[in-house]
Each structure stands twice: as structure tokens, then as C-alpha cells.
């Protein structure tokens, strides 16, 4: 008894099956190797042919997945839509398929499963039925022929499922003819797959070659990422590249489509989620069903799948993430996703790893170039900052005029550092107010001299706390006062502190949010340190000037009291006496009037001498030397001193310094007259291109410069001379010994601005 007879004792089948099989089509399947056809199209044609000539109410083909070995529905003919949808979304596991291949059902290389065996051909298929309403029955109760699709090496490529309407038509011979047809179809399928694989490999090589050319021709990171993303979009449709932005943090550096603000600002922690774990361990991740695989992983892609794909996909069911490695170190990841399950294969993983290997070197080089350029810019920026700070220091020490110094410093800070708007305030301790002294920038205030109590606003808070206030968004600070600039958003307030006291503050404002950085804070701290010393010096100088004015007033008061006032009092008494003797003793009255005339002439001479000391006319009209000559001549006549004046060099070199030099000589001679008890004084003026020098020496009684007698105003005169010398950038030396006279030397260095 034959094998077919032992397993299927039915009446003989019609012998026209072989005639019905399209042998022309059978022979034509081979050339599909060179035809423009996909495996799915080939299998569809195979299923339609079998559905037409067997005949069969339903034919479908399952192909073996090369990576997972599951059998997936690839072509369906005559299958109801509902059942077809079920077949496509439900792959058959190898173990389930093997359970159907029982020896008693074997016919040649195929398996004919009778309906009476009550064996489901698909998992969970019981709810599906076949036949008309009158003859409905569970689908798995139909006879089913399973015909394997095998490669040249007898490797299973897939299975053809044929629902049998008339089992009598399937004799052993007819099944053998059918298997021959299917074998030829399997060879054609294998050829098409090989051609498809060859085309994919060629496309991969071309992609990698083009990508290599694209990314190796530049060191600009943005260009490299843009070109890589363009190639990834062609291969995978959706993709992103994440780079390590800071230790332990990744950012989405590029993605298919625009990166929205939220995604661009997001950071993925290394070790968390799919992307973070790939970056942590340096191993690729691949899943064709992320929802099912979550329970098998320590990963939690739900938090970063959408982020890693640049926000383009709301959900990625299939997902690949591979590390970007350079020198054995992870510098980032490449990530692709697809909304469908089973969208990728291991070939895609290999391709993505090849792309990662292709771009990791250029990306790392671009990162190093970017870092070197950042460091160079940082060094240059620091050098520029130091240049500005040096300029600030020069401005701050070049003048003791407070108003001029503050205005120039404010303008230099604004222009030198490129800030939008800078203001400088000083604190009035008597009124507890801050007063704007200078401003420079794009937003000048209409209020010329703005005042504000220190209890108000961010400015007041800076003074009260003595701490820098950096406000990223002033609209969120309840203490902010808009004044006349309502569009400001960022503010940086830095106090000017000296000796523990807040002297003032620098205030910077701009319309951008979060515009100021720690670097701005640090450089402005240095600027305010310079300002603190300069401001304190200017204040001390102002006070010394006020003290000098007061001392000059006191000296004039003493001079007036000792000379003019006494003479005016004497004139008053003499005039009264003359009036009393006018009638009784005219001769006596005439003598008193003559005395009155002499006294008034002396008072007038004294007054003219004092006025001459305040502003000698010859100084402004005829120069320093002539002014000193006139002053020395008048002083010699009045005091009986022998004063020698000698000069050397070009007097014009003293232009701009005349007033200060005249006052220094005048004060030195006053000290000689009052304290030295000298008979001879020598005054020497030397004018050189690089410096000027004054030397005043006498043969008087001298003194000990290190001691100060009570009531002695000699030291006040010396202080005045030192201050006047310092005003013009000079210095003073004093040499004196008791009994050996005194020498005062003042040296002033000339500069280009003089």
C-alpha cells in the first residue's frame, strides 16, 4: 500500500491538476531574479495562481523572519478582511508551526491536515468561521494543505497555507506537481531576496561613501550633523543624534525635522532610558516592539523615546539606538524609530552602526575643534576684558575730578564690554539715597539726575545687602521699578564697596531675558574694585580740596587781621582824633590826616599784595617766570630778603602747569618768611622735555621734619605743597636740619597730554 493510500483512503483525484498548473508561469519564475519585483509581489502572484488553478477558496503565505524566525503573513488571496488583518498582526512562532507537522499528515514534503482532526492552524483562531450562513463552521475545521518554501540549501523560507475545498483533488502525484511548482517559486523568491539584499548592500555602501564625503570635508559640527541627518532620513525616515553636552547629560543635537523648543532644552541623563543607557554602556539597543520589551529591560524608554526622535514621532514601537564611539569613549548616540512594530531588522542595526562609525570621527574632531575655538575665544575675550579693565584703571587714576572720572568709566564699561546700557550710582549717606551720576548705552533716561531711596527697588536692595543682584527676568521680581524703561527684562546690579561701605553701584539692563552670565558678574566685580579705590580717592581729594580752600581762607583771614584789619582800625582811630582836633588844634589835626593818608596807602598796598597772591596778573599774561619775578620782587621789598631766581630750559614746557608751580613756590617762600629767619633764599626752575623741577632753599634756622610743634602751621603749608604736586603728577622732597636751613624739591614728570 502506498503512503498516499495509507493516509488518505479517498476516491482517485482528477488528473487535470497538472494540466491546470501554468507550466509557462512555472518556467517564468526564474527570471524574476533580474526583474523589478519585490518578494511581496512575487508571493502575491504565487498565491493568486494557486487560488485560481488548484482551486482553493483561500491561500496565504507566511515568510520566515530572518532575525526572529517567526512566520509573518506576506500575501493573502481569498482571505476575508477581518481574518487577513488578524494574520498580518499575529506572527506564528516556530514551535507552533512545528506542532502542526505530525508524521501521519505528511504527503511528500507537504502536510495535509484533515478537518476532522480538530487542529487549529493558527493560534487563537477559533472565533473565525468559513462557509455560508447555512453551513458556517470554525475555520480550522476545513482541510488545510501546508506546503513549505525551501531554499537551495533546504532552509525554510516560509509556508504556503492552502484551504482545500475538494480533498479528492489532492492525490500524491498532484501534490508532487504542486511541490515542484512551489520549489521553483521558492528559488525565484530566494533570487529576488538575494537581489534585494544585494541592492540594499549596494545602497548601504553608496550611502556610507556619500556620507563619508559629506562629513569629512568640514570641521563645522552643525554642518556635519545636518548632512548626517539628511542621509539618515533617506534610510530611516525618522532619526536623531544625541551628543554628550555636559558630564552625564545628553542633548538632542540634530533630528529629522525641526527640533521644538522643549526638545531642544531637554537633557537626557546618562544611564536613564534607552538613549541614556546606550550612552552609559556603549552597546546598541534594538526592539521591534518596545511596549512588549519594557518588562524585559531595566530601561524606561517611555520617558525619552519621543525626545530622542526629536519630537517627530508621538510613539516609536520599533526602535534602534547605537552609540557614537571615538577612541573607545561614547560621545553620543544615533537613534531611529518607527510607529509600526517589526519595522527594523538586524541589517538596519548593522547599517546604523556603520553610519555611527562613519561619522563618529568627524563629529569628535568637530567637537575638539569647537572646544579649541571656544577656548581661543575665551582667551581672546579675557584679553579684551583685561584691556578694558586696564583702560578703566588708567581712567580712574588719571584724574581726581569725580564727575569726569565717573562719566568716562561708565562709557568705557558700556563700549568696552559691549553692554546695552550701563548706569553708575553713588550713595548719599546723609539722605539714604542713591543718585545717578552717569549713564551710557541704548536706553538713555530722560531723568537727568535720578534719585531713589535705598529702601526701594533692586537698586536699593543691592545697597542694603551689599550683594550683587542678577535678575534673569525683572518682571518676576516684585521689587523691580520700571521708571522710564518699561521694556527691560534682565538686570545686573553690582555694588561698589570700599572699607565695608557701599559707595555706589553699577547697574546694567537689557531687553533680553537671562542676558547676564557668571562671567559678566566676575568681570564687573573687578571693575567695581577699581571704581571703589578711585571713588574713595576722588572723595578724599575733594575733601582735601575743601580743606585746602578752608585753610586758604583762614590764612587770608589771618593776613587781613595782622595787616589790613589793624591798619583799618588805626585809620579809624586816627580819623576820629583828627576830627576832634580840627577846631582846637588845626596843626595837630593836619598831622593826623597826614598819618591817616600814610596808613591808608599801606593798607592799600597790603590789600594789593593779598590780591596778587590770589591771582597774579602776570602769570596768565606773561607766564610762570615773569609772575615769580614780580612776586619775588614785591616780597623782597616788603620783607627785606635777598631772593635769587634762576631758570634753565624752555619755559614753554611748563605750559598747563603754571598755576600749580606758582602756588608751590609761593607757599615755600611764605614758609621761609614765617618760620626760617633766613637772610638769603635761592629759587631754581629747570624745564626739561621729560620733567620739570623746582628747588627752593634758604640759609635759615631749619627744623626737624619728623617732629611737629603745637600750633606750628608749617606742616599745613608742606601738606598743601605735596597735594598740589600730586595734582599734576609730581612728587615733593623735603630736606632740613636744625641750624642748617631747608630745601624743598618738587619734580613733575611730563606726559604726552601736557
Pairwise CA distance, residues 170 & 163, whole Å: 12
- Higher-pLDDT residue of 555 and 193 is 193
Residue 643 has pLDDT above 80, yes or no: yes
Fold of 620-754: Heat Shock Protein 90 (3.30.565)
Q: Could you tell me which CATH number the domain at 3-198 has?
A: 3.30.450.40
- Convert the pLDDT of each residue in 57-107 to its tens digit: 889 999 988 778 889 999 999 888 888 888 888 888 888 888 888 888 898
Name 749's bridge partners.
Answer: 691
- How far is the first Cα of the chain from the last one, in angstroms, to the nearest whole number? 132
pLDDT score for 555: 66
The H-assigned helical ranges of 399-451 are 402-417
Pairwise CA distance, residues 744 & 524, whole Å: 43
Pairwise CA distance, residues 491 & 508, whole Å: 6
**Mean of pLDDT over the chain:** 80
The x, y and z cell numbers of residue 717, run together, are 603749608
DSSP output for 494-556: EEEEETTEEEEEEEEEESSTT---HHHHHHHHHHHHHHHHHHHHHHHHHHHHHHHHHHHHHHH
Residue 165 has pLDDT above 90, yes or no: no
- Given the C-alpha cell 516560509, which residue does it identify? 158
pLDDT score for 695: 95
Residue 311 has pLDDT above 80, yes or no: no
Residue 367 near residue 221 (C-beta atoms within 8 A): yes
pLDDT score for 644: 93
Element (H, E) at 21: none
pLDDT score for 14: 40
Residue 562: band (very low, low, confident or very high) from pLDDT cuts 50, 70, 90: low
- Higher-pLDDT residue of 317 and 225 is 225
Name 694's bridge partners.
Answer: 685, 746
Q: Rank 126-130, 177-181, 408-412, 652-656 by mean pLDDT and report only the highest.
A: 408-412
**Strand, helix or coil for residue 395:** helix
Fold of 216-372: Beta-Lactamase (3.30.450)
The x, y and z cell numbers of residue 159, run together, are 509556508
Residue 650 near residue 688 (C-beta atoms within 8 A): no
DSSP-derived pairing of the beta strands 451-453 and 433-441: antiparallel
The x, y and z cell numbers of residue 445, run together, are 533716561
- Given the C-alpha cell 540634530, which residue does it identify? 254
Kindly give, in sequence order, each residue whose CB lies less than 8 Å from that of residue 713, ignoring residues fewer than 6 positions away: 674
- Convert the pLDDT of each residue in 7-35 to its tens digit: 333 333 344 544 555 445 444 444 444 45
Q: Rank 229-243, 303-317, 601-615 by mean pLDDT and report only the highest.
A: 229-243
- Given the C-alpha cell 519595522, which residue does it identify? 343
pLDDT score for 19: 52
DSSP for residue 585: -
DSSP-derived pairing of the beta strands 691-698 and 137-138: unpaired
- Percent residues over pLDDT 90 in the chain: 16
CB atoms within 10 A of CB 216: 14
The arithmetic mean of pLDDT across residues 636-657, rounded, is 87
Residue 502 has pLDDT above 80, yes or no: yes
- Higher-pLDDT residue of 437 and 617 is 437
pLDDT score for 618: 58
Kindly give, in sequence order, each residue whose CB lies less than 8 Å from that of residue 626, ignoring residues fewer than 6 positions away: 618, 619
Domain with CATH 3.30.450.40 in the chain: 3-198, 216-372, 399-614
The arithmetic mean of pLDDT across residues 334-357, rounded, is 86
The x, y and z cell numbers of residue 65, run together, are 523572519
- List Cβ<8 Å contacts ≥24 apart for 619-628: 619/658, 619/659, 619/662, 623/651, 623/658, 624/651, 624/654, 624/658, 624/661, 624/662, 624/685, 625/651, 625/685, 627/658, 627/662, 628/662, 628/665, 628/683, 628/685
**Helices 346-398 and 172-215 meet at what angle, rounded to 10?**
20
Q: What is the 3-state secondary structure (H, E, C) of 648-676?
A: EECHHHHCCCHHHHHHHHHHHHHHHHHHH
The arithmetic mean of pLDDT across residues 489-503, rounded, is 90
Name 323's bridge partners.
Answer: 333
HSE-up of residue 335 (Cα within 13 Å, Cβ side):
33
Kindly give, in sequence order, each residue whose CB lies less than 8 Å from that of residue 253, ignoring residues fewer than 6 positions away: 221, 225, 241, 242, 243, 332
CB atoms within 10 A of CB 553: 10
Query: Looking at domain 399-614, what is its CATH homologous superfamily?
Result: GAF domain (3.30.450.40)
- Percent residues over pLDDT 70 in the chain: 81
Q: Rank 157-171, 256-270, 407-421, 541-555 by mean pLDDT and report only the highest.
A: 407-421
- Higher-pLDDT residue of 191 and 15 is 191
Pairwise CA distance, residues 717 & 692, whole Å: 21
DSSP for residue 31: G
pLDDT score for 30: 45
CB atoms within 10 A of CB 536: 15
Pairwise CA distance, residues 438 & 443, whole Å: 13
The x, y and z cell numbers of residue 466, run together, are 551689599
What angle (nearest 5°) sits at the alpha carbon of residue 626, between those of residues 622 and 631?
125
Cα pseudo-dihedral 550, 551, 552, 557, rounded to 10: 90
The x, y and z cell numbers of residue 379, run together, are 582667551
Pairwise CA distance, residues 248 & 295, whole Å: 25
- Convert the pLDDT of each residue in 192-250 to its tens digit: 777 777 776 677 777 778 888 888 888 898 899 988 888 888 888 888 899 998 788 88
**Strand, helix or coil for residue 255:** strand
DSSP for residue 208: H
DSSP output for 217-241: T---HHHHHHHHHHHHHHHHSSEEE
Pairwise CA distance, residues 157 & 63, whole Å: 6
What angle (nearest 5°) sits at the alpha carbon of residue 679, between those of residues 676 and 681?
80
Residue 427 near residue 463 (C-beta atoms within 8 A): yes
The x, y and z cell numbers of residue 214, run together, are 559629506
728-748 burial, b for 16+ CB within 10 Å, e for fewer? bebebeeebeeeebbbbebeb
DSSP output for 699-741: -S----TT---TT--HHHHHHHHHHHHHHTTEEEEEEE-TTS-
Name 107's bridge partners.
Answer: 110
- Convert the pLDDT of each residue in 669-698 to its tens digit: 888 988 889 999 999 999 998 999 999 999
Nearest in space to 64 (alpha carbons), one of 337, 342, 292, 285: 342
Domain with CATH 3.30.565.10 in the chain: 620-754
CB atoms within 10 A of CB 457: 21
Pairwise CA distance, residues 349 & 288, whole Å: 11
Pairwise CA distance, residues 534 & 502, whole Å: 14
Pairwise CA distance, residues 210 & 140, whole Å: 53
Pairwise CA distance, residues 139 & 164, whole Å: 11
Amino acid at each position: 500500500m502506498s503512503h498516499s493510500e495509507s493516509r488518505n483512503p479517498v476516491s482517485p483525484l482528477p488528473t487535470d491538476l497538472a494540466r491546470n498548473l501554468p507550466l509557462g508561469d512555472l518556467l517564468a519564475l526564474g527570471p524574476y531574479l533580474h526583474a523589478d519585483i519585490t518578494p511581496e509581489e512575487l508571493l502575491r502572484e504565487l498565491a493568486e495562481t494557486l487560488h485560481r488553478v488548484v482551486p482553493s477558496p483561500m491561500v496565504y503565505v507566511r515568510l520566515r523572519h530572518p532575525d526572529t524566525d517567526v512566520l509573518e503573513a506576506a500575501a493573502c488571496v481569498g482571505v476575508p478582511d477581518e481574518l487577513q488583518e488578524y494574520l498580518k498582526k499575529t506572527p506564528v512562532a516556530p514551535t507552533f508551526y512545528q506542532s502542526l507537522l505530525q508524521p501521519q499528515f505528511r504527503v511528500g514534503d507537504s502536510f495535509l491536515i484533515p478537518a476532522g482532526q480538530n487542529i487549529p492552524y493558527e493560534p487563537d483562531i477559533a472565533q473565525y468561521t468559513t462557509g455560508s450562513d447555512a453551513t458556517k463552521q470554525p475555520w480550522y475545521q476545513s482541510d488545510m494543505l501546508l506546503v513549505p518554501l525551501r531554499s537551495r540549501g533546504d532552509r525554510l523560507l516560509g509556508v504556503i497555507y492552502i484551504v482545500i475545498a475538494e480533498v479528492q483533488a489532492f492525490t500524491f502525484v498532484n501534490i508532487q506537481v504542486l511541490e515542484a511548482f512551489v520549489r521553483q517559486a521558492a528559488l525565484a523568491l530566494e533570487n529576488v531576496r538575494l537581489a534585494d539584499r544585494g541592492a540594499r548592500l549596494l545602497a548601504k555602501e553608496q550611502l556610507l561613501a556619500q556620507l563619508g564625503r559629506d562629513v569629512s570635508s568640514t570641521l563645522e559640527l552643525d554642518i556635519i550633523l545636518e548632512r548626517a541627518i539628511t542621509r539618515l532620513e533617506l534610510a530611516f525616515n525618522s532619526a536623531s543624534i544625541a551628543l554628550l553636552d555636559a558630564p552625564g547629560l545628553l542633548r538632542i543635537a540634530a533630528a529629522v525635522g525641526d527640533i521644538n523648543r522643549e526638545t531642544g532644552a531637554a537633557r537626557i541623563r546618562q544611564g536613564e532610558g534607552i538613549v541614556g543607557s546606550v550612552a552609559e554602556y556603549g552597546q546598541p539597543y534594538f526592539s521591534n516592539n518596545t511596549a512588549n520589551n519594557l518588562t524585559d529591560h531595566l530601561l524606561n524608554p517611555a520617558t525619552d523615546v519621543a525626545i530622542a526622535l526629536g519630537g517627530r514621532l508621538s510613539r516609536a514601537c520599533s526602535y534602534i539606538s547605537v552609540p557614537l564611539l571615538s577612541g573607545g569613549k561614547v560621545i553620543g548616540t544615533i537613534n531611529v524609530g518607527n510607529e509600526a512594530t517589526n519595522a527594523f531588522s538586524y541589517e538596519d542595526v548593522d547599517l546604523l552602526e556603520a553610519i555611527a562609525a562613519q561619522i563618529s570621527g568627524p563629529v569628535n574632531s568637530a567637537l575638539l575643534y569647537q572646544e579649541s575655538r571656544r577656548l581661543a575665544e575665551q582667551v581672546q575675550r579675557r584679553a579684551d576684558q583685561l584691556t578694558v579693565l586696564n583702560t578703566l584703571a588708567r581712567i580712574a587714576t588719571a584724574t581726581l575730578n569725580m564727575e569726569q572720572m565717573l562719566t568716562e568709566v561708565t562709557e568705557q564699561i558700556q563700549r568696552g564690554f559691549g553692554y546695552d546700557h550701563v548706569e553708575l550710582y553713588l550713595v548719599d549717606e546723609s539722605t539714604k539715597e542713591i543718585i545717578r551720576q552717569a549713564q551710557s548705552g541704548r536706553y538713555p533716561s530722560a531723568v537727568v539726575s535720578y534719585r531713589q531711596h535705598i529702601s526701594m527697588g533692586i537698586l536699593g536692595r543691592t545697597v542694603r545687602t551689599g550683594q550683587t543682584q542678577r535678575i534673569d527676568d525683572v518682571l518676576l521680581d516684585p521689587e523691580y521699578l520700571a521708571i522710564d524703561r518699561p521694556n527691560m527684562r534682565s538686570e545686573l546690579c553690582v555694588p561698589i564697596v570700599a572699607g565695608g561701605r557701599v559707595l555706589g553701584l553699577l547697574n546694567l539692563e537689557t531687553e533680553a531675558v537671562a542676558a547676564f552670565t557668571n562671567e559678566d558678574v566676575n568681570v564687573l566685580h573687578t571693575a567695581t574694585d577699581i571704581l571703589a579705590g578711585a571713588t574713595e580717592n576722588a572723595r578724599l581729594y575733594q575733601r582735601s580740596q575743601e580743606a585746602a580752600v578752608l585753610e586758604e581762607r583762614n590764612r587770608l583771614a589771618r593776613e587781613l587781621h595782622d595787616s589790613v584789619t589793624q591798619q583799618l582800625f588805626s585809620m579809624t582811630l586816627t580819623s576820629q582824633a583828627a576830627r576832634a582836633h580840627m577846631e582846637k588844634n588845626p596843626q595837630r589835626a593836619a598831622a593826623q590826616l597826614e598819618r591817616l593818608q600814610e596808613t591808608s596807602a599801606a593798607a592799600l598796598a597790603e590789600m594789593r599784595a593779598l590780591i596778587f597772591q590770589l591771582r597774579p596778573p602776570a602769570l596768565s599774561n606773561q607766564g610762570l617766570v615773569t609772575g615769580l619775578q614780580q612776586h619775588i620782587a614785591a616780597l623782597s621789598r616788603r620783607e627785606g630778603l635777598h631772593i635769587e631766581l634762576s631758570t634753565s630750559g624752555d619755559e614753554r614746557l611748563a605750559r598747563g602747569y603754571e598755576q600749580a608751580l606758582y602756588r608751590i613756590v609761593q607757599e615755600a617762600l611764605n614758609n621761609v618768611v614765617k618760620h626760617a629767619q633766613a637772610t638769603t633764599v635761592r629759587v631754581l626752575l629747570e624745564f626739561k622735555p621729560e620733567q620739570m623741577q623746582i628747588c627752593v632753599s634758604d640759609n635759615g634756622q631749619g627744623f626737624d621734619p619728623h617732629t611737629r610743634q603745637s600750633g606750628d602751621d608749617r606742616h599745613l603749608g608742606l601738606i598743601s605743597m605735596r597735594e598740589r604736586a600730586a595734582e599734576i603728577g609730581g612728587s615733593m622732597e623735603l630736606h632740613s636740619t636744625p641750624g642748617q636751613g631747608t630745601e624743598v624739591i618738587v619734580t613733575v614728570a611730563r606726559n604726552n597730554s601736557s
